Amino acid sequence: DVQLLESGGGLVQPGGSLRLSCAASGFTFRDYGMTWVRQAPGKGLEWVSTVSGHGSTTHYADSVKGRFTISRDNSLDTMSLQMNSLRPEDTAVYFCAKTSYFRYDYWGQGTLVTVSS
Amino acid sequence: QSALTQPPSASGSPGQSVTISCTGTSSDVGGYDYVSWYQQHPGKVPKVMIYEVNRRPSGVPDRFSGSKSGNTASLTVSGLQAEDEADYYCYSYGGSNNFGVFGTGTKVTVL
């Protein structure tokens, strides 16, 4: 079975940094793109960033471009999101999702990031 | 990267049909056949119901169907059941410059 497990969320002050991780199992990790999607409390889904299977191609939403960096380690079947210069509006549950031809067919349970002083 | 436009709410009685629209632009919905739909129950993880405009993943009931015309995609749920009450989000690929965008979300209520 496909499993995705996020970690690394927590409370951080505005301007601070946080690194999220997503551990994958149950599929050939390197064959699929991976994506971060976030959901602010009581709000809708927002696509954040996608990394290709080999890790050389990345895409970012304008709202995080220049502040967040997505990466992956295919030897460890993990994906990461380095978040810098965090803002209160980055507060959300962050989901990692397996990406198959521009659809997200498996999702993790999410990790909560709270940006507040 | 503006969110795709969906109606905030839709409703129907059990057994009836409900259709949710998702309006974008020629740069996303209208430009690619990579529209997908996600169902999210409160406190739960989103689940893909339709991909590539009108394809259904295995295990999704055939009561769920998708279509697209121009810059607007649609999700139809036929034969509404109580368990269909949830939030629904569309998503479209937007090309290499605006990779992906979700819709604003629609809350479906089964009366």
Q: Could you tell me if B49 and B60 are in contact, meaning their C-beta atoms sit under 8 angstroms apart?
A: yes
DSSP state at residue B5: B
Give the pLDDT confidence score for residue A63 in this predicted structure: 95
| Residue whose C-alpha is closest to residue B81's, from B61, B55, B99, B106 | B61
Cα(A6)–Cα(B108) distance, integer angstroms: 29
From B48, B40, B35, B52, select the one nearest B102 (Cα to Cα): B35
Dihedral pair phi/psi, residue B35, rounded to 5°: -100, 130
Q: How far apart (Å, rounded) are the C-alpha atoms in residues A63 and A67?
A: 9
> Residue B76: beta bridge partners?
B19, B65
Do residue B100 and residue A108 have CB atoms under 8 angstroms apart?
Answer: no
Residue B70, Cβ density class (10 Å: 0-12 exposed, 13-18 middle, ≥19 buried): exposed
Q: Is residue A64 a contact partner of residue A86, using CB atoms and an 8 Å limit?
A: no
- Which residues in chain A have their CB less than 8 angstroms from residue B46's CB? 37, 45, 95, 104, 107
Per-residue pLDDT of chain B (111 residues), as tens digits, is 789 999 999 999 999 999 999 999 999 999 999 999 999 999 999 999 999 999 999 999 999 999 999 999 999 999 999 999 999 999 999 888 788 999 999 999 999
Q: Give B98's DSSP letter.
A: S
Rounded to a whole number of angstroms, the distance from the CA of B86 to the nearest CA of chain A is: 13
* Chains A, B: CB pairs < 8 Å: 65
- Per-residue confidence (pLDDT) for residue A46, from 0 to 100: 97
pLDDT per residue as tens digits for the range A22-41: 999 999 999 999 999 999 99
Q: Which pLDDT score is estimated for A43? A: 96
